[in-house]
Structures are given as C-alpha cells and as structure tokens.
Structure 1
Amino acid sequence: MTLTGLLKVAAAAAALWVAAAPVAQADSLDDIKAAKKVRIAVAMGVPLFAFVDDKLQPTGSDVETAKMIAKDLGVELELVQITNAARVPTIQTRKADFLVADLAITDERKKAVDFTIPYATLSIVVAAPAGEAIKDYPDLAGKRIGVTRATVNDTLVTQNAKDADIVRFEDDATLITAAVSGQVDIVSTQAAVVAEMNKNRTEKLETKFVQRELNLGIALPKGETALKTWLDDWIKTHFADGSLNATFKKFHDRDLPPDLVTR
C-alpha cells in the first residue's frame, strides 16, 4: 500500500475512534455548586407568579420558589428576568441554569427542554364581558381575542378558533394593559391575569369556558440528569412538608392539587 493509502486508512480509523468515544455530559449541578451561584429564570409581569411589588422588588409564587431552591442549594440566587416568549429559548441557549416561570409541561416543549415533575398548576380560560355569548371555540369566530405570544393559550386559540381575529402580545403585562385600555375585550389567559385586568376595568370580564388545566414544571436543558433528579426530589420533599403549598397559597389563595407530584 502506498503512503497516501496508509494515511487515508489511519485517518479513517481515527475518525471512527472519535465517533465511538463517549461524549462528555454536562453536569450543571456540580457547576452551580462550584460557582456558588444559580441562575434561575422567571417570567416577569405574570400576576401572582412573578411581578414587582410596591417596593419595586420581584415577588410572586415563582420568585419565592426560586429563592427557596437557591437557599437549599446553598448558593447565591441570580434571578434572570425574562418574558413569556423567551422562556424556552433561555433554557436552550443556557442563559439560565433552569427556569421557574409558570411553564406548562407539553409534549411539544419536551422536544426542546426537559421538565421536572409538576410544582404548580394553572387553569387557562377564555374571558369576556357578560354580554358576550361565548361558550366554546366556535363562538370566537370573527371576534377579536387577545393572547400572550408563545403560550399554551396562543396555541389552543390558534388551533381551535381559526376564524377568530387573534391579537398577540409579548407578555402578560402588555395583554393586561390592552384589556384595561379597551384594545381587546375578549382574552385567553389564566384566571389570575383576568383578576388583574378587572382591577382597572369598568366592564368586568368573566370566565366563559375553561380551556385546559395545566401542570407546570421547572424547565432545564436537555441531558442534565443530576440536576433534574435533585429538583424532582426537592419538589417531592417540599410538597410533602407543606412549604411548597404554603408558598403557592400565599399568592394564589388556593391549595395545590393533592396528587400534584404524581401527575
């Protein structure tokens, strides 16, 4: 065999060896502990879950849950404040270690990120003034309805109310402003957001129908097995001792479902 032929064989063998070699897996849990800091993303502007209080400080059930997690990890918390639309991209690009941001566990999202077991729930509803005769999706035909972009709300209305005039807003805060100012009188959102709208609306909105009850999970990058296991165990522990429910009830005035962690 010529020298050129031998070099080709050697190169091919080297390529096969590299392909067969095990790929080093990331271990964010060790990295977090080594850095003594955890970056947790929250979607700000979501009533009850993550919002700014009268002292201009972030608060809400998601924010307080993030603080509890950081404390139990024994590290400093860096709160990464994002919009709803940025939730999955933030985890995919690892701009945060994980995300506690009222993100519903769906099959489509599972293709992009990993989820823990549920840590909370929410109901998605269609709400409108009392005079609107709306009982289901077909009744939205030709009607103007506001949704927050890149949410399950957006997906459900898009799929089931194809003849509706759908107006998409970048976050819940903008949707609330639009509903209060009269830009939209029909919305697809969660009950807590509707309550926030009604604080400043003359013509109150009422729930017309419940679209879906959603399980919310902590989202993290694909393949972070150790971190996911730690977070799953953390949720089970704090659900069992009542502290997770207490934090949720403080803001939402309701208990978490008794079967939450087995869903």
Structure 2
Amino acid sequence: MIHAQNRRHFGTTAAALGLTAVLPAWLSCANAQTVEDIKKKGELTVGLLVDFPPYGTLNSSNQPDGYDADVARLLAKDLGVKLKLVPVTGPNRIPFLITNKVDLLVASLAITPERAKQVQFSKPYAAATIVLYGLKKLPIKSPADLKALRVGVARASTQDIALTAVAPEGTEIRRFDDDASAMQALMSGQVDAIGCSTTVAAQIAKRAPANTYEEKFVLRQQEMAVALRPGQTELLKAVNDFVERNKANGELNKLYQKWLGTDFPVMKGS
C-alpha cells in the first residue's frame, strides 16, 4: 500500500519501473538484430502479456493466446520463421527486451515519451481506452472525487501513469503486479475503483453481479506498438512494413474482429 504523502514520488518511480536505465549506446548497438539474424536463428522470440484479455490471455491448454499472440504469429509467418511466445508482466516487459530475453515485444505496450527513451516503437497495431472503473454506488464523476478513496492499478502501466497524474492529494493508490491482481482487488473489496482498459472492465462486468460496477471517466486513450531495442533500424522498418501491409490487406482487421468484435481503429499514430 502506498500512502498519499508518498503517492506522487512513488508514481514517478513507478512510471519508470520496467523502464530500465538507458543502456550505453555501444551496448544497445551490440544487441541490435537484423531480419537476417532472426532468419538465421530460425525463430522469433516475442514477449507478450497473458493477463490482458482479449489482447493477451491463456487458452484452455494454458498457452499464450489473444490478439497480440495472433499478431505475433502473423509476423513470424511473414518473416518465415518459427515463433516462441514468452509471457511477460507489465513491469518486466521492457527489461526482458533490453536484456535480450526476447527479440521484440507484442505486449500491449502503449506508446509514451518515457518509454520511447528506452525502446523503439513501430507504427501502432492496436489501441485501447483506459478508464476509471469502480463501484456504481460511489459518486465518482471526475478525478477530484477520488480523494480519500482506494484506487488500484497495475504497477508501471499507462493507467498507473495516467491515474497518478490526475489523482488529488489524499487518494490512496494501491499498485499491483498486473491487471488480474488489480481486478481481483476490486472484486474482493480491497479497493473502491481501478484504472484499467475497457476490455478488462468488460471482464469484470461478466463476473460480477449486475450493476455492481461502472465506468466512471476516461483516463487515457492509448495506442499500442511493437517495441524493439534501440538501434534496430532495419528490423524496425520490416515491422513497420508488416503493420502497414496487414492493415491494407485486412488481416489486422480480421484479428480485431475475432478478438475485439469491432473494426481495426483509425489511429493518429498510424
């Protein structure tokens, strides 16, 4: 639990969690991969979340699945290599990438200026709306109404950053390891509301009794992109070409319809 007086200091720290210290330029370049390197290896290793349905989840066989997984499968097929999916969490996504545990991330990573100092972002391949979602009985209409309430978020996430930026002094922000933990905290009464995506909110609504929770207000609109290590100019171009080609041919729209039940969104970053 983070007390109110430490909230803003911790929020700044939390925003950096998962964003490891900037590596020396020579090390970043040494870790750069090309398309040819991946083809020689014969395998693309992709980090993705498995607690963020429908973008990332586990199927009935306990294997990674979801929109992000299907995008990764499409990318590996495009490169002509096998795919290895590696589950990651919100806080460890970028460390896994920077330390070469994965080749790239298709992990619902929102594009932010802070993260852009650590990784290279592709053109966006998905979007999400982050909302404040809480008990219907509580009159929460704006950030000002959060004072003296307990609000949960996934640590080092964009919802953590967005909530910390607007919550007034007196808000008790509780940070959890992932969206699943924040969701459980809300449903078990540990917090009054959480910052989460509309897709996570929909999952809660399915599990909870009718009219228990509701969306209060929008915290942030975010676009997600594939993340690569710095210095991978050629691989970045290949990923950007992949995104543009599969937007144009309708493949990403098919995956959006499959997992989100809607058309691929129009995005400013695209």
Measured against the shorter chain, the TM-score band is 0.7 to 0.9
- Equivalent residue for 1:255? 263
**What aligned pairs does 1:67-86 form with structure 2 within 5 A after superposition?**
67-86=73-92
Matched, 1:148 2:154: yes
**How many Å separate the matches in 2 of 1:142 and 1:53?**
39
- Equivalent residue for 1:190? 197
Residue pair 1:176, 1:196 contacting (<8 A) in 2 also = no
Where does the alignment leave 5 or more consecutive residues of structure 2 unmatched? 1-28
Which segment is superposed worse, 183-192 or 219-228?
A: 183-192
Matched, 1:206 2:226: no
The Cα of 1:239 is off from its aligned counterpart by 0.3
Residue pair 1:119, 1:261 contacting (<8 A) in 2 also = no
Measured against aligned partners, the alpha-carbon deviations of 1:147-187 in whole angstroms (never above 9, x if no partner) come to 00010110111121142100111011212222222222301
Instruction: State the structure with more CA Rg.
Output: 1
Residue pair 1:39, 1:97 contacting (<8 A) in 2 also = yes
Residue pair 2:68, 2:107 contacting (<8 A) in 1 also = yes
Residue pair 2:50, 2:65 contacting (<8 A) in 1 also = no
- Equivalent residue for 1:20? none
- Equivalent residue for 1:159? 165
Residue pair 1:236, 1:261 contacting (<8 A) in 2 also = no
**What aligned pairs does 1:168-187 form with structure 2 within 5 A after superposition?**
168-187=175-194
The Cα of 1:25 is off from its aligned counterpart by 8.0
The Cα of 1:83 is off from its aligned counterpart by 0.7
SS at match of 2:118: coil
Q: Note the aligned Cα RMSD (angstroms).
A: 1.6
**How many Å separate the matches in 1 of 2:100 and 2:110?**
19
- Equivalent residue for 1:238? 246
SS at match of 2:207: coil
1:43 to 29, 49, 62: 49
Measured against aligned partners, the alpha-carbon deviations of 1:98-152 in whole angstroms (never above 9, x if no partner) come to 0001110011100000000111100000011222111211111111001000101
- Equivalent residue for 1:219? 227
The Cα of 1:73 is off from its aligned counterpart by 0.8
- Equivalent residue for 1:106? 112
1:92 to 93, 98, 102: 98
**How many Å separate the matches in 2 of 1:24 and 1:217?**
23
SS at match of 2:40: helix
How much identity, in percent, do the aligned residues show?
37
Distance verdict in 2 for CA 1:135–1:69, change over 3 Å? same
**What aligned pairs does 1:25-36 form with structure 2 within 5 A after superposition?**
26-36=32-42
Task: Output the amino acid matched with 2:146.
Answer: L
Tell me the number of residue pairs that the alignment of Structure 1 and Structure 2 aligns.
240
**How many Å separate the matches in 1 of 2:187 and 2:60?**
20
Which segment is superposed worse, 170-179 or 230-239?
A: 170-179
Which consecutive aligned stretches of 4+ in structure 1 deviate over 6 angstroms post-superposition? none
Which segment is superposed worse, 137-146 or 50-59?
A: 50-59
- Equivalent residue for 1:136? 142
Task: Output the amino acid matched with 2:238.
Answer: W
